[in-house]
Structure 1
Amino acid sequence: MSDLRLVVFDVDGTLVDSQGDILGAMAAAFGGLGLSVPGRAAVLDVVGLSLDHAMARLAPEADAAAQAELVRRYRAAFADLRTRRGAAESAPLYPGAREALERLAAAPEVLLGLATGKSRRGLDAVLSAHGIGHHFVTQQVADHHPSKPHPAMLRAALDETGVAPERAIMVGDTRYDIEMARAAGVRSVGVRWGYQPETALGGADAQAARFAELPGLIDALWEVA
């Protein structure tokens, strides 16, 4: 059996804090259609879902055409905000994220991956801005998969790396990440600095309050595998 292990990270709310642009783009999308703008908690609760699923939850009374227009307007507004501010400012890394990634990546048997509700274009902008793309050998985006918590992203990451589910760990800030991991037979670490409350992380195998705790928690989970 291969000694390789895989750690897959969510992006928004886990590696980077993009909530300012998320909230701004959502306000622009809803306001542009004359719809009531969802509150902050409602918006952050759908971060991690693919945009079509997110809009269906935020605007259930809207028909399919209106929801599709919300998606289009959101993408345009988000891209405009990112262009004006720069991706590094729009989506700053959380404190300790870079150091934790470098520590994990330094272990020859550990592979790193991403599973995100972002588009390929959006993910590329964030990775390029922070110079961290080289860490991730598998990168799964919303363009090519069903929305979380469907396990397709994690299954693709496992297939690409050849790592067995019991040797993989998903790291994320939402219940969608934890439910996706469970559906794929992968253990999970919930992070408390993201967009959903600690109560949403109850199904995780472990929880981290700071990035500095993450490598140790991951090692501990592997030790009891």
Structure 2
Amino acid sequence: MLVVFDVDGTLLDSQHAIVASMAEAYQLNGLEPPSREQVLAVVGLSVREAVEAISLDRPDHPIDAIGLAFKQSFNARRRAAPEADPLYDGALDVLKSLAAREGVLLGIATGNSRRGVDRFLDTFGVRDLFAATQCADDAPSKPHPAMLLQAAAQAGVPAEDMVMIGDTTFDMMMARSAGARAIGVAWGYHPTDRLLASGAERVISSFGELDTALGFGPLEVRAPAAAE
């Protein structure tokens, strides 16, 4: 089984950096910044698609310039304080526990950039836990299924043996389009009723519920590789 996680809003509580960076991007382009609610509603989309959604009724907005300013602001914040956006409670423990299970591989599918994914993996020391990492630089924006289909191919797992864990409707729709299972998390940026309506088979309220949601029993740890 391949268990694929979204990053922002699922593993990482990054809402403050995202909202602040988007506000700065609009201000730098002489525009009124969007509200927190507007920004969080599009978290999960790739940057261009997110800006297009925020500026949907303003065709005069310079989408590319706003997107570039957002990336520069967001990356500057992450460089200045890479651990300012914390992991959610239980995230690191559940990643390590799942990675130790026999027959389980882990993946990432995020609207973040490759630079952002690499920074996340290295900041929290989890690079070796993931068999597949897909991001906005690799595929069309969520909810297009390409990220998940590529993650399945990268890990050598059929799509029907894959589960997407995410906090947005885009994650749930992407999973269903790819033929994968979809499990929502209640602590992210989209409400539970929308997650269920967009295809989540269930929504968990803590990482402690994930093993049960995935259908796992007691932990079966992989045997260590034999020394050469």
Q: TM-score, normalised by structure 1?
A: 0.92
1:219 aligns with 2:215: yes
Q: Deviations over 1:102-136 (max 9, x none)?
A: 11111121000000000000111111111111111
- Give the structure 2 partner of residue 87 of structure 1: 82
- Give the structure 2 partner of residue 168 of structure 1: 162
1:147 aligns with 2:138: no
Secondary structure of 2:131 counterpart: strand
Give the distance between the partners of 1:54 and 1:16, measured in 2 at CA: 19
The letter for the 1-side match of 2:70 is Y
Q: Deviations over 1:164-216 (max 9, x none)?
A: 22211000000000000000000110000001111211120121100111122
* Contact 2:55 2:61 (C-alpha < 8 Å) held by counterparts: no
- Give the structure 2 partner of residue 115 of structure 1: 109
Secondary structure of 1:87 counterpart: coil
- Give the structure 2 partner of residue 137 of structure 1: 131
- Give the structure 2 partner of residue 67 of structure 1: 63
Higher helix share: 1
1:173-184 matches, cutoff 5 A: 173-184=167-178
Give the distance between the partners of 1:27 and 1:7, measured in 2 at CA: 33
Secondary structure of 2:215 counterpart: helix
1:26-41 matches, cutoff 5 A: 26-41=22-37
Structure 1 segments of 4+ aligned residues over 3 angstroms from their partners:
61-65
Change in 2 beyond 3 A, CA 1:64/1:169:
farther
The letter for the 2-side match of 1:15 is L
- Give the structure 1 partner of residue 190 of structure 2: 196
- Give the structure 2 partner of residue 6 of structure 1: 2
Unaligned runs of 5+ in 1: 221-225
Give the distance between the partners of 1:73 and 1:61, measured in 2 at CA: 20
* Contact 1:45 1:196 (C-alpha < 8 Å) held by counterparts: yes
Give the distance between the partners of 1:25 and 1:65, measured in 2 at CA: 17
* Contact 1:88 1:126 (C-alpha < 8 Å) held by counterparts: no
Secondary structure of 1:142 counterpart: coil
The letter for the 1-side match of 2:139 is H
The Cα shift of 1:46 comes to 0.4
- Give the structure 2 partner of residue 125 of structure 1: 119
Give the distance between the partners of 1:210 and 1:65, measured in 2 at CA: 39
Give the distance between the partners of 1:216 and 1:104, measured in 2 at CA: 12
Secondary structure of 1:35 counterpart: coil
- Give the structure 2 partner of residue 223 of structure 1: none
* Contact 1:8 1:115 (C-alpha < 8 Å) held by counterparts: yes
1:56 aligns with 2:23: no
1:202-213 matches, cutoff 5 A: 202=196, 203-213=199-209
Unaligned runs of 5+ in 2: 217-228
Give the distance between the partners of 1:65 and 1:72, measured in 2 at CA: 13
* Contact 2:48 2:67 (C-alpha < 8 Å) held by counterparts: yes
The letter for the 1-side match of 2:30 is G
1:18 aligns with 2:14: yes
The Cα shift of 1:60 comes to 2.2
1:106 aligns with 2:100: yes
Give the superposed CA RMSD: 1.5
Give the distance between the partners of 2:191 and 2:32, measured in 1 at CA: 24
